[in-house]
Structure 1
């Protein structure tokens, strides 16, 4: 009887403590199954956020490069136009100081009517030539200013997009921290080796697809890092871009732009060949088909570039494929 009372008292004390702790009290970590389910959702969210961040960053880089080129051209044209303006100003000052009939007096003094007419024609041609050059340079400068203003607007839009996605980067960092916590709890966090030499590709690919896959397999074991394009780490689209670059094919940077770039290169999922790019629904992820039912890809935070069975990873997730 005393033992039963003791257990009852203890239970009452624990219940009271829970009530006193209130809704803000810490709760137990999820079970391994719950943690894995949560991790899947986190990975999907992180994929989307990372690709939006990558897309905005690429848009900014493109606009900034365009603006810099136009601005440099404008500076060069401005300098050339200023030289011509200075030359014309010098001529005008000389005419003013010598008087409006300086040219007449000079040629009349030479006596010959032919000389006078020839000289006047030369002066007129010189003035017309200077004026024509000035008009040409001013027209070119005006065009460049228009183009620079257009580029400046594009740059402002890209900066606005980058600033807007800054919040998404903060969200991505938060998701990465949560992914890392769950993976460590599950004992599944892999730091990877930035210096990994990978594994040898022995699949059925040929031609430039084989070159791309040889590169991708050589990266196996390197860590996934969002926004990374190598050489020590990669995200999913960074890996596919780098792999196909070695094979002489220039892919855009993000999954979205790679999918758009391949609009005319789509292939049925029933006719995959080694080297084809595989995209997940929502375009949050991309990998490369290696042949023999396998893919090579950079999965997500806490994992490494690796080769896995296609069905195991992409079951019910495939959107489509393109052939670079």
Structure 2
């Protein structure tokens, strides 16, 4: 190869290398369609993670409630044991000072058989009273020891549940940060208004289903927030729980527990009525049927409580429905 051509080839190769490694070189951005496809997968993962977080939170609350109840009970039993102990100590001191059977000599010296028998009965009652106090004290202290053991076990369960909540929360927050970044990239992040007064429900529901839907519609426009139970934000099961609570029906907290609670209340998807609870496959998400093929729900991070078409949002993803 001639020297001049060799220099030209080397220069071209160097130029190509510079183009490849030069910082700031143009990089193709993912298309909005690809970003939305990734978001869909993230949303499905988030549904499951939020559900696990909610389950862990409920387990912690229950364990904490049991522990606090035991703690209060132990305080009461400690006071009872202390009172019994003081009574026993007073009896011991009294016996030490005056003898365990005061007045026994006088009873015997009296010579009157009725007086002797009456005195013996009195002394028997005194002895039995002290014996009863001793038995009560022994029972109280044994019960205390047993309850202390239970309290320690429940405390360990509470701490384990608390640690699980923290672990699940960390996972959810990491995923939410990724969702938020992608939503902002395509300009689809919605902050919502915690003070939104929503919309007025005017559909065909009646009775407590109408009350529940009126409540849910009044939350439209408020932000979705994982773990949210109102009043400024909700997650999906937090919204349905609050809506039906307003109608006088007590639902469990999480999607899984609401599905389990309604095992005997399932209704076919072709026989839906307004107010029915709708569940997605995998039980990661849920909403409330509003009638006319629509549902009201709290969707996911970066969105607000809103009305969606069932066909458009959950085509092929519904697993079942429950009528509270």
Q: Residue 11 and residue 115 in structure 1: after superposition, are their counterparts in 2 closer, same or farther (change >3 A)?
A: farther
Rate the CA distance shift 1:271–1:158 in 2: closer, same or farther, 3 A: farther
1:237-278 CA-partner distances (Å, limit 9, x unpaired): 110000000011111111111111111111111111111111
2:20 matches 1:18? yes
Matched residue, 2:297: 297
The number of residues matched between the two structures is 315
Aligned mates of 1:92, 1:204 — CA distance in 2 = 78
**Match of residue 243 from structure 1:** 243
Match of 2:149 in 1: 149
1:225 equivalent in structure 2: 225
User: In structure 2, what is the Cα distance between the partners aligned to 1:51 and 1:129?
Assistant: 58
For the Cα contact (< 8 Å) 2:215–2:246, is it kept in 1?
Answer: yes
Distance 2:317 2:137 in 1: 58
The answer to whether the Cα contact below 8 Å between 1:55 and 1:254 also exists between their aligned partners in 2 is yes
Cα deviation code 1:18-77 (max 9, x no counterpart) = 3588xxx99644211110000001111111111111111111111111121122122212
Change (3 A) 1:163 1:10: farther
Cα separation, 1, equivalents of 2:192 and 2:49: 23
Q: Write the deviation string for residues 66-104 of structure 1: whole angstroms up to 9, x where unpaired.
A: 121122122212212221221122112211222345341
User: CA separation of 1:84/1:147 partners in 2, compared to 1, >3 Å: closer, same or farther?
Assistant: closer
Alignment of 1:103-252 (within 5 A): 103-108=103-108, 112-136=112-136, 138-139=138-139, 142-143=142-143, 145-147=145-147, 149-252=149-252
User: Cα deviation per residue 1:177-204 (whole Å; 9 max; x = unaligned)?
Assistant: 1111111111111110000000000111
For 1:317 and 1:41, the matched residues in 2 are separated by 14
Distance 1:180 1:236 in 2: 18
> Once the 2 structures are TM-superposed, how far is the Cα of residue 137 of structure 1 from its aligned partner?
5.5
Measure how far apart 1:165 and its partner are. Answer: 4.0
Alpha-carbon distance in structure 1 between the residues aligned to 2:253 and 2:151 = 21
Taking the TM superposition and a 5 Å limit, the aligned residue runs for 1:26-105 are 28-105=28-105
Please give the alpha-carbon distance, in whole angstroms, between the structure 1 residues aligned to 2:145 and 2:273.
Answer: 49
- Aligned-partner SS, 2:321: strand
SS in 2 for 1:102: coil
TM-score normalised by structure 1 residue count: 0.88
Normalised TM-score (structure 2): 0.88
| C-alpha RMSD of the superposition | 2.6
How far apart in 2 are the matches of 1:206 and 1:137? Answer: 60
Contact 1:227 1:235 in 2 (8 A): yes
Distance 2:115 2:12 in 1: 124
Q: 1:317, 1:148 → 2: CA distance?
A: 49
Q: Is the 8 A contact 1:74 1:141 kept in 2?
A: no
Moved more, 196-205 or 70-79: 70-79
Alpha-carbon distance in structure 2 between the residues aligned to 1:20 and 1:191: 38
- Gapped runs of 5+ residues in structure 2? 1-7
Counterpart Cα distance in 1 of 2:287 and 2:299: 8
Secondary structure of residue in 2 paired with 1:275: coil
Q: Please tell me whether the aligned partners of residues 183 and 302 of structure 1 are also in contact (alpha carbons under 8 angstroms).
A: yes
Distance 1:117 1:72 in 2: 47
Counterpart contact for 2:224–2:301, Cα < 8 Å: yes
- Native 8 Å contact 2:189 2:302 kept in 1: yes
